[in-house]
Amino acid sequence: MPIMAAIQMVSGHSVAGNLAEAAELLAQAADRGAKLAVLPENFALMGRRETDKVAVRETEGAGQIQDFLAEQALRHKLWLVGGTIPLRSGDDQSDRVRAACLLFDDQGRQVARYDKAHLFDVQVVGSRERYAESATIEPGDRYVVADTPFGRLGLAVCYDLRFPEQFRAMADQGMEIMALPAAFTATTGAAHWEVLLRARAIENQCYVIAAGQGGRHTNGRETFGDSLLIDPWGLILDRLAWGPGIALATLDREFLEDIRRQFPVLTHRVHGQG
């Protein structure tokens, strides 16, 4: 049975430094038998300013960060979900990027791309924190589920977690594993992270690999961490609360199939009329 890994980081403002840390953590995961690994959102850069991501944006298929992901996937014979990286938007004159989640196979080939659809434009309840991702990020407009040797893998990012219709749409496309790179705030993570992840696993009867940023960053921001691996019954298989590191668990396809056969929630749905 394959081993899956959630990679947790505390990324800073140096792309080179972040890539070096990611390489070390991926090597540790591979040494422990991982065949599918997920990096967190913004793994290559948590800039001092939101506009810093625009300065390091890449064109799809070319660039330092994409080369790194391809090389790591090939070196460690890993299927690798590359967190999110800033890619150029469709408008060459735009000062915004796409927050792209790229999937590489174990030969280092990019086989899927998902652009974060739901953008974090909020005032965090009970705090002075305010975020406006749409100022520097252009949203994606489609959901992505890809074939892997381990099952059908759905890609989603951070704030997407709050929109269950996205995950049900991916379940309708055959999703069996969900990869969720994230950088939840400390406040929202403490309130909602675990309960939302377990709910998405339970209602869609899928494995969840949630890889977070977890610590205090050089820009002063604090992220929640608590990277989790969850089974289709909603049980937590492994977790990492804080700081850089890895969480590991085994993916048991027979268990997933048993859950769906014995407790067929996905086939019991009733489409009522309004």
Report the mean per-residue pLDDT for the chain.
96
For residue 94, pLDDT beyond 90: no
Could you give the number of structural domains in the chain? 1
- Residue 92: pLDDT band (50, 70, 90) is low
pLDDT digits (tens, 9 = 90+) for 120-130: 999 988 777 88
pLDDT digits (tens, 9 = 90+) for 152-208: 999 999 999 999 999 999 999 999 999 999 999 999 999 999 999 999 999 999 999
Which residue out of 35, 53, 101, 158 is catalytically annotated? 158
Stretch 97-113: mean pLDDT: 98
**CATH code, 244:** 3.60.110.10
**Per-residue model confidence (pLDDT) at position 93:** 65
Which residue out of 21, 35, 101, 116 is catalytically annotated? 116
* 41 catalytic per annotation: yes
- 198 in a domain, yes or no? yes
> Do 136 and 53 form a contact (C-beta atoms < 8 A)?
yes
Residue-range definition of the domain harbouring residue 108: 3-265
pLDDT digits (tens, 9 = 90+) for 62-85: 999 999 999 999 999 999 999 999
- 194 in a domain, yes or no? yes
Which residue out of 41, 133, 138, 176 is catalytically annotated? 41
- 55 in a domain, yes or no? yes
- 272 in a domain, yes or no? no
For residue 109, pLDDT beyond 70: yes
pLDDT digits (tens, 9 = 90+) for 192-244: 999 999 999 999 999 999 999 999 999 989 999 999 999 999 999 999 999 99
- 273 in a domain, yes or no? no
Instruction: Give percent of the chain with pLDDT exceeding 90.
Output: 91
**Per-residue model confidence (pLDDT) at position 273:** 81
- 155 in a domain, yes or no? yes
Residue 4's DSSP bridge partners are 36, 249
* 222 catalytic per annotation: no
For residue 20, pLDDT beyond 70: yes
- 270 in a domain, yes or no? no
- 147 in a domain, yes or no? yes
- Residue 89: pLDDT band (50, 70, 90) is confident
**Per-residue model confidence (pLDDT) at position 177:** 98
> Do 155 and 102 form a contact (C-beta atoms < 8 A)?
no
- Measure the CA–CA gap between 138 and 136, rounded to whole angstroms: 7
* 101 catalytic per annotation: no
For residue 13, pLDDT beyond 90: yes
